[in-house]
Amino acid sequence: MRRGTAYTPGGQVRSIAARAWAVGLAVSALASGCGDGVEAAGVHTLSAARFCAIDGRIDWADGVGAPPEVDDDDPRCARVSLPDRWSERRPARQGLGWYRFELPPASERAPGPWGVRLPRLNMNAAVFADGRWLGSGGHFEEPVTQNWNRPLLFTLDADRVAEARYVDVALFAYRGDWGGLAPIEVGPFEALRAQHERQVALQVVPARAATVVAAVLIALLTALFFATDRKPMYGFFVLGAACFLVHSLAAHVREIYVPYGFGRWLIHTSFDWFVVCFLAAFHRWIGVARPRLERAIAIAFVLSSLASAVAGRELFLRVALVGHGLALLVFGYGFATLLARFSRLPRLERSALLVAGALTVALGAHAFLIQAGVLPRSSPRLLHLLAPLLLLSFGAVMLGDFLRAYREARRLNRELDARVRAREEELKASFEALRELERARLLDAERGRIMREMHDGIGSRLVSALSLTEDDADRRVEVADALRDALLDMRVVIDSLDPSNDDLLTVLGTLRTRLQPALRARGVRVRWEVEDVPDAARLGPAGLLHVLRVVQEAVTNVIKHAEAQELRLRTRATTLPDGRPAIEVEVADDGVGLDEDRAPGRGLRNMRHRAAQLDGTLTIDTDGGTRVTLTVPTPSDP
């Protein structure tokens, strides 16, 4: 912004709108006069001919047909100047008409092959040189080949150039249409071909590109329609693009397969309904709710379509002109609405839309003025550029909206990811805290268990030893035994807590080593009948200690009370009645057996308590010695 200049949104709108409108008028003016071109060297333009309103037969495939032989004073023939508009000079005529052009003198003809070029015609033509067939633009059976937007070029062989006197053009036109012929060109073929290719590039190629653009937009907008849960805005854009696709085909498709009257009605009506659909999409895009206006415009176009459908061929173009005028008013309304909401759009997008809107109104006005007869009918038709201009402009704006929304979504996703990571860190910290609490709880429980074991085992035995020393100093041997037992208990507890001793055979072997001196001192042999029980590791340190305590108590009873000669320790894997796997540990001796009349002591009660802690069973048999059997189910996988 310049220093000292006041900025006002309204002033900026008027400035951009004025520039856009100037561009639109310039395009319209250029379009109105760009079709004439510059005559190339050696090319002759023939604008005078003799026209004969005589029907005939033309077979374009086989080159069958000939110009009529008529006298100079035949009333069916007359001198005409081109362009010759059938809709103005002979509106009731339909079918063939013959034009005869006299070629320039032989002295003015350049050597080499010549060509005959028809820059503008409606609807189809065949060309003869001195009565000899040169070619045609297609078939002449209705619906005839359409060449209203396509120039035609034919070749005249070099050996005929010097002696040819005239060229005949057979033109087919429909009644009530813009049938007619513009001045033709004759001259060197290469020069005419350059002009022909340039005209095709300006008239036909853009029409094809517009059709391709419409088809691509239909695919993209349909994808957006379904991707946005059938948002009506995109649905109306799809319908509008489909209507324009039908309309654009007429500018480059030469062969039609429907009756001509219906095809012409479809081409004009599809453009009107493109305007209706585009207005509905435009309203929803800018956030304007005017259902009454939309209904009124739709009803007006319905009436216009019905009127053009029932109108005769002579009145069709006039009725269609009403619909096209209404379409031009709708474009003007849309442009004014866009100006009213100018400040709500980003700067680049609003400038692009204003230019596109001005060009749209200009192109629409240009087409309307040609159809109304204000501008020359020879002016190039540019209406096929209108829809791609609008759809691409709004598509670019919608793409910008989508990219902004995408960037905003990515920003929100990054924020959400950051929040999720922060929450994960919080949860991780909370989990670590809970795990520490659980670890502390387990440690406290393990400490409590160890304390109980120390109290019940080592503690009680040390107390016994202390009482013996206090009661009788001569009982030192018994004190030594009690202290050994206390030391054994302590080692058993330590062995059960050793992480490396995680299976039953290892801890039982360690226990055997601990008890072997006492067994040997009593003269007791040991039979070791153990087999691997791999599921014993699932018992854990506490379970293994319970098993060791039961075995220790049973072996201690054998040493102290059984008067046995042999002790057998056996382990095996078994199965409980309910099908669960289990471990069986058996301690048996050949001693005097258990006194059944004697009340069970604390050791036996502790053994049963430990078996219950293991969810197992303890069985004691005293037939021919004593057999203590501990059956423990193995825990299942966590």
Please state which of the ranges 103-107, 358-362, 386-390 shows the lowest mean pLDDT.
Answer: 386-390
Domain end, chosen from 199, 223, 258, is at: 199
Structure letter (DSSP) for residue 64: B
Phi, psi values for residue 312, rounded to 5°: -70, 175
Same domain for 284 and 375: yes
What total number of domains does the chain contain? 3
Same domain for 350 and 221: yes
Same domain for 384 and 262: yes
Q: How confident is the model at residue 600 (pLDDT cuts 50, 70, 90)?
A: low
- Count of CA atoms in the C-beta half-sphere (13 A) of 526: 22
Any idea what the CATH number is for the domain that residue 262 is in?
A: 1.20.1070
Per residue in 624-633, pLDDT tens?
A: 788 999 999 9
Same domain for 585 and 542: yes
Please state which of the ranges 227-231, 466-470, 576-580 shows the lowest mean pLDDT.
Answer: 466-470
Same domain for 395 and 304: yes
Please compute the mean of the pLDDT values over residues 528-543 and round it to a whole number.
77
pLDDT over 90 (residue 99): yes
- The confidence score (pLDDT) of residue 495 equals 60
Domain end, chosen from 176, 199, 222, is at: 199
Average pLDDT, the chain: 80
Please compute the mean of the pLDDT values over residues 419-429 and round it to a whole number.
89
In 3D space, the residue among 385, 367, 386 whose CA is nearest the CA of residue 377 turns out to be: 367
Domain end, chosen from 146, 177, 199, is at: 199
DSSP secondary structure of 150-206: --EEEEE-HHHHTT--EEEEEEEE-TTS--EEPPEEEEEHHHHHHHHHHHHHHHHHH
Rounded Cα distance between 250 and 259, Å, is 14
Same domain for 78 and 194: yes
pTM above 0.75, yes or no: no
Residues forming beta bridges with residue 580, ordered by sequence position? none
Q: Are 290 and 323 in contact (CB under 8 A)?
A: no
Residue 431 lies in a domain: no
Q: Answer with the residue of higher pLDDT: 82 or 484.
A: 82
Same domain for 232 and 365: yes
Residue 106 lies in a domain: yes
Distance of CA 439 to the CA centre of its chain: 50
Per residue in 299-316, pLDDT tens?
A: 999 999 999 889 877 788
Rounded Cα distance between 420 and 201, Å, is 58
SS3 letters for 597-616?
A: CCCCCHHHHHHHHHHHHCCC
Q: Are 270 and 247 in contact (CB under 8 A)?
A: yes
DSSP secondary structure of 85-151: EHHHH-TT--EEEEEEEEPPPGGGPPSS-EEEEESSEESEEEEEETTEEEEESS--SSSPPP-TT--
Please compute the mean of the pLDDT values over residues 420-424 and round it to a whole number.
90
Containing structural domain, residue 102: 44-199
Per residue in 6-43, pLDDT tens?
A: 333 444 444 444 444 444 444 444 444 444 444 567 89
Please compute the mean of the pLDDT values over residues 412-421 and round it to a whole number.
90
Q: Which tokens hold the place of 501?
A: 């001793």
Please compute the mean of the pLDDT values over residues 65-71 and round it to a whole number.
80
Please compute the mean of the pLDDT values over residues 529-535 and round it to a whole number.
79
Please compute the mean of the pLDDT values over residues 375-402 and round it to a whole number.
71
Same domain for 278 and 218: yes
Residues forming beta bridges with residue 302, ordered by sequence position? none
Number of H helices, E strands in the chain: 15, 18
Residue 601 lies in a domain: yes
Q: Does residue 380 sit in helix, strand or coil?
A: coil
Same domain for 220 and 186: no
CA end-to-end distance (rounded Å), the chain: 75
Please compute the mean of the pLDDT values over residues 497-526 and round it to a whole number.
76
- The confidence score (pLDDT) of residue 35 equals 44
Per residue in 253-285, pLDDT tens?
A: 999 888 888 988 998 899 889 889 989 988 988
Residue 617 lies in a domain: yes
- The confidence score (pLDDT) of residue 514 equals 75
DSSP secondary structure of 9-58: HHHHHHHHHHHHHHHHHHHHHHHHHTTS--PPTT-EEE-EEEEE------
pLDDT > 90 fraction of the chain, expressed in percent and rounded: 21
- The confidence score (pLDDT) of residue 338 equals 77
In 3D space, the residue among 371, 382, 364, 380 whose CA is nearest the CA of residue 32 turns out to be: 380
pLDDT over 50 (residue 160): yes
- The confidence score (pLDDT) of residue 111 equals 81
pLDDT over 90 (residue 92): no
Amino acid identity of residue 132, one-letter, is: R
pLDDT over 70 (residue 485): no
Q: Are 145 and 137 in contact (CB under 8 A)?
A: yes
- The confidence score (pLDDT) of residue 5 equals 32
Same domain for 183 and 289: no
- The confidence score (pLDDT) of residue 596 equals 64
Could you identify the residue written with the tokens 């299942």?
636
Per residue in 448-483, pLDDT tens?
A: 666 566 656 666 666 666 666 656 556 666 666 666
Q: Which tokens hold the place of 225?
A: 């329609």
Any idea what the CATH number is for the domain that residue 140 is in?
A: 2.60.120.260
Could you identify the residue written with the tokens 């006005």?
365
Whole-number Cα distances in Å, 590 to 169, 262, 493, 511: 136, 118, 29, 21
Rg from Cα positions in the chain: 54
- The confidence score (pLDDT) of residue 637 equals 58
Any idea what the CATH number is for the domain that residue 629 is in?
A: 3.30.565.10
Q: Does residue 102 sit in helix, strand or coil?
A: strand
Please state which of the ranges 71-75, 325-329, 396-400, 549-553 shows the lowest mean pLDDT.
Answer: 396-400
Residue 113 lies in a domain: yes
Q: Are 68 and 98 in contact (CB under 8 A)?
A: yes
Please compute the mean of the pLDDT values over residues 391-399 and round it to a whole number.
71
Instruction: Give the list of residues 6+ apart from residue 206 with CB closer than 8 angstroms, or none.
Output: 384, 385
Same domain for 305 and 159: no
Q: Which tokens hold the place of 552?
A: 């220790």
Q: How confident is the model at residue 213 (pLDDT cuts 50, 70, 90)?
A: confident
- The confidence score (pLDDT) of residue 344 equals 65
Please state which of the ranges 57-61, 218-222, 300-304 shows the lowest mean pLDDT.
Answer: 57-61
Same domain for 88 and 27: no
Residue 453 lies in a domain: no
Residue 437 lies in a domain: no
Rounded Cα distance between 487 and 509, Å, is 17
pLDDT > 70 fraction of the chain, expressed in percent and rounded: 78
